Each structure stands twice: as structure tokens, then as C-alpha cells.
A = this chain, B = another copy of it.
């Protein structure tokens, strides 16, 4: 047990007011007398308390971890230390990708508390995707975040010693990793009490996923990679609910699942959630075709996420390769440089394959596992919802078991476009 765990207490509104009043930097930012600050609990995630605090001058967001999974209750304990890892990740990401994560203003490890700048008027991206909103900046920002946080924490950029220190610093976050290992890489493929899906329409598909051994082999290989491949500091939960946007800004939040894992898991998460937004879109139509422009943008965005990520990652590799991997001295001269460039392309092809596989895993867990998402959940007619979900599962299954057939991001969006017009048996 953390020696300071006895200092932990859940902060209710009055406690929080007193606590923040004792922090000069925070009181200055908020402005006005503490008694007049407005404090509201707004956490809609699965794990934590989140307070918005506003004063006369400004606001802050306060996130406190609970010693259990909020979505499930005290029966599912979860270590408070995740707040420490979130703090570590946020501050490291801020160095690697400036401006793309919220500023941390204060951290109290014993209280499992992080105080951050209030992101306003930012909105959770997933909500706006459900509404059909286009964000032209998104590709630019998210690919900068992905390329910089992944490349700059990898063996391509840092020494092996620095990377091993990073691995050790995050190794204690295994309880959060375990959630991923179970809920993404295991449960959707077996009978598990917490699984749920849109019944009765997806009953047969859910059963098929529990029986399909090609899928079980593929998900097990991905799980092994998640367990073994300490490639870079990954966010670990990079869905569109972990991204806040305005017309002009993108902020990545909630990195409490961060650890040194496979890069493709983060890239795949972004692509998966965009593909779900695309295939859920038909369910949100009030008149046929009204969201076609939005849907076209989503698929362009899927393509842009990979191509711009790859371009930026390669550019960093060409210009900031200070790590121990692929030492420049083995690729000298023009011929050497050309060969290294060929190898970089091969590296990206392997990373793309990982990305497609992890993206498939992230789609499947949102439809057959415990944690669903509002892209589908807000489709009121359950049969229409099931149609969108069945299309997504069909795409994800192919991506997972036939990953080799997806050689470019264009083949992924082509498959998405085709499955958009596919009618499941029950339709």
C-alpha cells in the first residue's frame, strides 16, 4: 500500500473549495473569493470524479481518482496510483507535443488529484462527431500528437538507458493495462458477464465472435504484442472521448492508461473511433444522405490520420534520430541513406499492420464488450443501431484476420465505404 494512502479522501464540493483556496496559483487563476467559486461535478467517464471550478477570472478542471471503477462501483477496486501515471504522462506529453495536452497546474499524489487548465469552449470530440460536426484541424493536430509522442519516446529518438527509465517509471501502472488486456483483448471473444451487445440482432454475430478461432488467434497475437512490445510511451486510451476540440484547437486528455507499449495501439485507437463515427453516421440521419458530407470528411480524416502521421513520423526520423535504434553510422553515404530510407518504409509498413489490427480490436470491444460508445448508443432505434454495429463488426473482423489484405490506408477506407452499403441479414 502507498504509505500516504491514509491521506486520501474523496473530495466533495466543500473540501475541494477549501483545498483549492490553499493553493495560491489556483486562487489567482480563479479570481474572487473562494465562497463564490462555482463547483460542479461533471465526470462522465468510467473511472473518476471531474470537477469544473470557476471564479471571476477563470476556471480549472480538477480530476480525482476514486479507489474503484466509477462505472461499476466499489466491487471493482482500482489503484489511486493511476492519477500519478496520468500526471507523469501529461507532463511528458506536454514536453513532447507542446500545446496538445492540457496544462497541469497542480498535482497531489496522495489525494490522487490533478488540477488542470479548464478547456473551454472545448468539447469532447465524440459528442460532436455524433452531431455530424466537421473539424478541419483534427488531422493536423492529432498526427502531430501521435508522431511526436510516439517517435520522441521511442528507441529511434532516445537512448536505451533513458527509455528503460521510462519503462520502469510506468511499469507500476499495470492495473490500468489489465483493464485493457481483459476488456479489449479477451472478453469480447468469450462468455463474460460484463459483455453486452444490441440484442437480439447481434446475438448471432456475438456468438460467431466467441467461436471464430481465426479471430481468437489474431486477438491473442495482438494481446501478446500489447504485453511485450515496449516501443514508446503510448496514451493507451486514445479514443474520440479522450480528445477535446474547438474549431482551432485539439487537446488530448485522460492519459491514465499510459505505459510503454506498441505504437499501433494509439494510432489504431484514433482510426477505429473514426471508422465507428463513420459507420454510426447512417443511424443518426434524419433524412437519407443528409450526413454524406460529414461521412466523406470522416473517411478523408481516417486517410489523413495515417498518411500525415507517417509523413511526420518519418520526418522526425530523418531529422531527430538520436536514439540507439538504427544507428546512422551503419547507413552512411548516399547508398546507405537510400537503404535506410527503404527500411524506414518497411518499418512503417509493419507499424501500419499493427495499427490495422489494433483498430479492429478497438472497434470490436465497443460493440461486444463492456464499454460502449455514444456513436452507437445514441442511435435510438435499436435495430438501426444494430445495423451500424454489424457493419462495423464486419469491417473489423476482416481487418483483424485478414490484415495482410490492407496494404494502404486507402484499402481500409474502401472497405469501410463498401460495408457502409452492406445490409446484414436482419436488416
Chain A interface (Cβ within 8 Å of chain B)?
155, 160-161, 163-165, 167-168, 171-172, 174-175, 177-178, 181, 186, 189-190, 213, 216-217, 219-220, 223-224, 227-231, 324-327, 329-331, 335-336, 339, 343
Q: Are A171 and B160 in contact (CB under 8 A)?
A: no
Q: Are A227 and B324 in contact (CB under 8 A)?
A: yes
Q: Are A228 and B330 in contact (CB under 8 A)?
A: no
Q: Are B155 and A213 in contact (CB under 8 A)?
A: no
What residues of B have a CB within 8 angstroms of the CB of A223 in the complex? 324-326
A contacts with B: majority SS: helix
Q: Are B220 and A327 in contact (CB under 8 A)?
A: yes
Q: 18 A-B Cβ contacts within 8 A?
A: A155-B227, A160-B174, A160-B177, A160-B178, A160-B181, A161-B175, A164-B172, A168-B168, A171-B171, A178-B324, A213-B335, A213-B336, A220-B327, A220-B343, A223-B324, A223-B326, A224-B325, A228-B230
What residues of B have a CB within 8 angstroms of the CB of A178 in the complex? 160-161, 324
What residues of B have a CB within 8 angstroms of the CB of A220 in the complex? 325-327, 330, 343
**Bound-state Cα–Cα, A112 to B67, Å:** 40
Output the least CB separation between A180 and chain B (Å). Answer: 10
Q: Are A174 and B155 in contact (CB under 8 A)?
A: no
Q: Are A228 and B155 in contact (CB under 8 A)?
A: yes
Q: Are B155 and A324 in contact (CB under 8 A)?
A: no
Q: Are A160 and B330 in contact (CB under 8 A)?
A: no
**Bound-state Cα–Cα, A413 to B130, Å:** 61
Output the least CB separation between A358 and chain B (Å). Answer: 16
**Bound-state Cα–Cα, A330 to B163, Å:** 34
Output the least CB separation between A36 and chain B (Å). Answer: 46
**Bound-state Cα–Cα, A190 to B329, Å:** 7
- With contacts A155-B224, A224-B326, A231-B228 known, is A213 near B331, CB below 8 A? yes
Query: By CB atoms of chain B within 10 A, which of A155, A190, A216 has the most?
Result: A216
Output the least CB separation between A390 and chain B (Å). Answer: 22
- In the complex, the chain B residue whose C-beta lies closest to that of A165 is B171
